[in-house]
A and B are shown apart, each in its own frame.
Chain A
Amino acid sequence: MGATIVEKIFSRKCGSDIRAGEVVMTPIDGAMIHDITGPLAIQKFYEMGGKHVFDPRRVIMLFDHQIPADSLEAAKNHVYMRKFAAEQGIHNYDINEGVCHQVVLEKGRAAPGEIVVGADSHTCMYGAVGAFATGIGSTDMGFALKFGSLYFKVPETIRAEVSGKFQRRVGAKDLILAIAADIGADGATYQAIEFTGKTLAKMDMPGRMTCCNMAIEMGAKAGIVPPDKVTWDYMRGRRKMKSFDLASDDDAKFAEKRAYNVADLEPQVAVPHNVDQGVPVSKVAGTHIDQVFIGSCTNGRYEDMAEAAEVLGKKKFDPKVRVLVIPASRDEYLKVLESGLIERFVKAGALVEAPCCGPCMGGSFGLIAPGEVSLSTSNRNFKGRQGSTEGMVYLCSPATAAASAMKGEITDPREV
């Protein structure tokens, strides 16, 4: 019997045959902490008797959720973490680089075949480069920091095979919202989702990141795209390593296989209050919106900004809509800046902020009031996620966000 890519990653790591369902104490290749979950993880590390982290070079630290410090409490948390980084010899990217998941990938801190944990649920995004990456809580992170290993129940895999060519202004975000609606908010709990097929083979790295990022929204432990030329091209210059083959065997045992064809896929919008409530944009077109957020680890890359700008053209956003544009990292910000898109967004009426999580998790700025509606390219539309529990959050692609921001209501980007 063949093995899935996830089984192969665990087997490679331990040098023995490991299969789904087994519970294995597994060494990790990287551990990421940020300003929200980091302080608690450090506290737990100390409570466990931790003195030195397992390997400071494998610990990734940065601040992205509440930066620059938006409260005294946040400022104190930042100081606490800086002190820990200095004491342990950990390189701290601090507030300078952007949203954790984007930074981990662009700095080459996750690579094909590696096992990486992060104290953040969207850590599953690193599956875009063929790593097994999963989000954990702070106490598990304290354990991982101390021992460099963690218990994993090796997940079964759902294979999502995607074929077909996207229509104009339809892309990865629409695909993953459609998959989430199909699989459901808990349809992949304790499982991994492997994204394969001709459409994935052609998809660029930013699109793959968008897909893997949202695996958790189906309850999945990981999302993963088998490494191919696109992956190894992305890794070049980020990490010195030789390419190798890593893919599921055809006779591997999958929990299930699902096929998707994107040829007729309409732009998708996830309506309040769950990510699996995706509908074609035509169903909600005309819905009034108060705020639009283009950014986040899900859709904050240059390609996302370019997609929004292509829809915008030389036109303006509706002045009644607050438009927040936040590139996901310093690198992405520079690309957007140098290509002239920031000027275009600002002239169209948007606020362009420095790289950070922004309004995505409703903890820092850009919160919505009771009765207000947010349209967001981020990953969650839970009740209260972006502020008031009496507010509404809709999720969509950058193209749909831009078209809607221009019209002041949810709009099909193909009709602008």
Chain B
Amino acid sequence: MMTAKKTTPAKKVSAGKIPSTKGGRVWKFGDNIDTDAIIPGRFLTLNNAGELAKHAFEGTRDEFARKVKDGDIVVGEKNFGCGSSREHAPLALIGGGVHVVLAQSFARIFFRNAVNVGVLPIVCHDTDQIDDGAEITLDLKHGYVEVSGKKLAIEPVPPFMQGIIDAGGLVNYAKTLKEVPACTKSRR
């Protein structure tokens, strides 16, 4: 789990090519938001972020797709993104302008997919203090989010994933590589 222990972030999180988020709207969800909720199975024939975004949270939260705006932040609690490996889930979010997801913990495949396609998954242990519809500003440099007058600490992403975020996703990262050095270890 990404939330093994509560730590005060010592290192800053760099956002790579992810736009800064200031005054975005919070879309608040609870525990165990699965990828079927984010994008139902019947839309998986679509491979385009914009098209997928039209069906994000369909049946779970119908107004999301209509009202989501660039810079909004999706906030969950525990185990966000559990279930299927469908990358259509983070794509459906980014297609609607959501570049950041905040949660107390993330399911493993979603976390990795999000980083790979350029959605920043950020662990914040205090998302229970964040209300739906609130205005939220993310300060990656100093490691907190500011919402309803409160500053809540966020965790740094694992160092080996920071390189992918800095490149703006795995595709750009991969373009810089001619071959990969097999069996090399990275910083954790």
Contact = CB atoms under 8 A, between A and B. Distances in A.
A186 B46 contact: no
Contacts of B79: 185-186, 189, 219
B180 interface: yes
Interface stretch (A144-152, A239-247, A302-310, A321-329): A144-152
Nearest to A188: B1
A398 interface: no
Contact of A362 (B42, B47, B85, B171): B42
A252 interface: no
Nearest to A77: B45
Interface stretch (A42-50, A86-94, A285-293): A42-50
A39 interface: yes
A219 B107 contact: yes
A344 interface: no
A382 B171 contact: no
Interface string A10-23: 00011110100111
A120 B85 CA distance: 5
B183 A27 contact: yes
7 pairs of A and B residues whose beta carbons are closest in the complex:
A73-B45, A389-B59, A137-B113, A363-B41, A186-B79, A14-B183, A139-B116
A26 interface: yes
B1 A143 contact: no
Interface string A304-339: 000000000000000000000000000000000000
Interface stretch (B9-17, B32-40, B143-151): B32-40
A362 B175 CA distance: 36
Interface of B: 1-2, 32, 34, 36-37, 40-42, 44-47, 59-60, 78-79, 82-88, 105, 107-109, 112-113, 116-117, 158, 160, 169-171, 174-175, 177, 179-188
A36 interface: yes
Given A136-B109, A146-B174, A384 B59 contact: yes
A185 B35 CA distance: 14
Contact of B105 (A47, A119, A186): A186
A25 B180 CA distance: 8
B188 A149 contact: no
13 contacts: A23-B186, A27-B183, A36-B86, A65-B44, A146-B174, A147-B177, A149-B182, A186-B105, A219-B107, A363-B42, A380-B83, A383-B36, A390-B59
Contact of B117 (A120, A136, A139, A151): A139
A26 B182 contact: yes
Nearest to B177: A147
Contacts of A221: 108
B36 A121 contact: no
A25 B85 contact: no
Contacts of A390: 59
B109 A135 contact: yes
A142 interface: yes
Interface in A49-73: 49, 65-66, 71, 73
A275 to B, nearest CB: 9
A269 interface: no
A25 B181 contact: yes
A40 interface: yes
Contact of A71 (B45, B84, B187): B45
A153 B188 contact: yes
A36 B44 contact: yes
Contact of B40 (A39, A48, A185, A362): A362
B173 to A, nearest CB: 9
B109 A25 contact: no
A102 interface: no
A413 B85 CA distance: 33
A113 to B, nearest CB: 16
Interface string A376-396: 000010111100111000000
Contacts of B169: 139
Contacts of A18: 185
Contacts of B113: 137-140
A74 interface: yes
Contacts of A65: 44
